Structure 1
């Protein structure tokens, strides 16, 4: 059984820097994000790691893990959102007390997706892949990204529907300093399938940033088979994946690694988010990587969906039962918070 937290109005948001902190260069942006949350009626509780910076992380792994444990056990905190992603979240996994975690939402993406996936695989507690705190600092939030609040407020046993965005932030789109919105959504969005046809998929959502989550394959934090047996009783898994910086050869290697590890066993399909990376190598393109994977797994593959490092992004819940439909380039995601 999956355990679904529920966000309540006026909740206390716990902010702990599980990866990057807010160094002097980014402190103003972080403080702006905190201010926006307070304007929206939330209280904010800042951890000691938030304003720290220790080379490529906020603080040593033990310190980050212990602070995260404390916020998960703190009954006054209703939601945890790290400031943003980073590089070395993996260092803190060994210090997380998974057996003692209380059900509450953890929201984020990029490096944070490793924490999200590990929690759901180990405990069956649903986690939320969506905007980081830094992505919510705009005076206004686009209609796709703002859905994080409605998704996390959905009661267990209910469902929530999200629609594909109308536009996303295209390559080279700079920020418009006169706009109340953080992102410059200037390029029409089209959800695509490898087959070129309309597609309907169902399954239990699992996923994250490939660059990061591939590193827990074969570890106690990446036991997909255990999750499947103990929490979803063998229901099909619908993977959602996106890449930040991988070239196409590294993307291909990572996906083959996942296949060899059995992560795509009992899989109903694969969803790929947009990426600003995935640079072609010797003419090998991202679309060809997707096509090769679809052919060898004999599974439907969708791509250029609204999640990942190219805004805006939906909020996808690890562990939720999902129905995804793509018709004429438009997409619908319905998530059920049950079982």
Structure 2
């Protein structure tokens, strides 16, 4: 059985950096995010790791893990959001106190997805793959990003519906900041390998494939045990997004997942938009999607609102989802059961 946290009004957000912290020249930008959260009625408590960054990490692994563990134990903190992702969160996993994970939300993506997936797999506690804190610094949030608060305020036994975005951001333009942070200029169009209407149901699991693939074969990536202990062997729907992988590296990672049993009892896979996905010798990501769909005999949809090409939906690891994709539009109904 999955444990679902619940986001109360006027909750206190704990901000810690289990991966990358914020460099001094970006402190003002980060402080603006904290101010926006306070204006929404939240309290914000920042850990020391937030303000430091050296050699690709905010602090040594044990320091990062200790601060996270402390915030997890602190009953005065109701929600944990890292400032953003990074590169080396995986170093902290052996020091995370998984035996004392409390029923509070953790929200983030990118490198944070290793922590999110590990917690859900090991403890059965739902985690939230969605916006990071820095991207909430705008005067307002676009409709897709803004759903994070509603999704996290869904009660156990209830459901929450999200729709695909109208537009997405093709590239960053930091010289011309937008009131909602993102520059949403391109029309969103969810695609399916079959080019037909797709309907998928199952328990959601996923994250940044660059990162979570490294959990395979470790105590933090035991999907089979999770299926047996927490979801009574219900089917799984995977969601992935590719930050930096070439097409062949993406393919290798997916084959490794298949060989490791991650796709057993899988009813479908969703892939987020990516600014990576470079082809290799005319071998494209669309080729990868078609091959995987044929091998697993499941539907695959792609270019969904997930990952490093914003905006993105808030996907709950562990939630039961009903997904529909037709004529470029998609909907995701997440049931907290």
TM-score with structure 1 length normalisation? 0.98
Aligned equivalents of 1:130, 1:25: Cα separation in 2: 25
Aligned equivalents of 2:49, 2:241: Cα separation in 1: 27
Note if contact 1:173-1:186 (Cα within 8 Å) is conserved in structure 2: no
Q: Deviations over 1:264-319 (max 9, x none)?
A: 00100000011111111111111111111111111100000001100000000000
Aligned equivalents of 1:297, 1:178: Cα separation in 2: 43
- Mapped pair 1:294 → 2:289: no
Match of 1:159 in 2: 159
TM-score with structure 2 length normalisation? 0.98
Unaligned runs of 5+ in 1: none
Note if contact 2:122-2:226 (Cα within 8 Å) is conserved in structure 1: yes
Match of 2:106 in 1: 106
3-state DSSP of counterpart to 2:25: coil
3-state DSSP of counterpart to 2:121: helix
Comparing 285-294 with 220-229, greater Cα deviation is found at: 285-294
1:29 to partner: Cα distance: 1.5
Aligned equivalents of 2:144, 2:10: Cα separation in 1: 21
Spell out the pairing of 1:47-58 with structure 2 (5 A cutoff). Answer: 47-58=47-58
Match of 1:12 in 2: 12
Note if contact 1:325-1:333 (Cα within 8 Å) is conserved in structure 2: yes
Match of 1:326 in 2: 325
- Mapped pair 1:198 → 2:207: no
Aligned equivalents of 1:333, 1:135: Cα separation in 2: 22
Note closer, same or farther for the CA distance 1:7–1:183 as it changes in structure 2 (3 Å cut).
Answer: same
Match of 1:284 in 2: 283
Aligned equivalents of 2:205, 2:101: Cα separation in 1: 19
Aligned equivalents of 2:240, 2:32: Cα separation in 1: 30
1:174 to partner: Cα distance: 2.5
* CA RMSD after TM alignment: 1.0
Unaligned runs of 5+ in 2: none
3-state DSSP of counterpart to 2:289: helix
Match of 1:226 in 2: 225
Spell out the pairing of 1:63-142 with structure 2 (5 A cutoff). Answer: 63-142=63-142
Aligned equivalents of 2:309, 2:217: Cα separation in 1: 29
3-state DSSP of counterpart to 2:206: strand
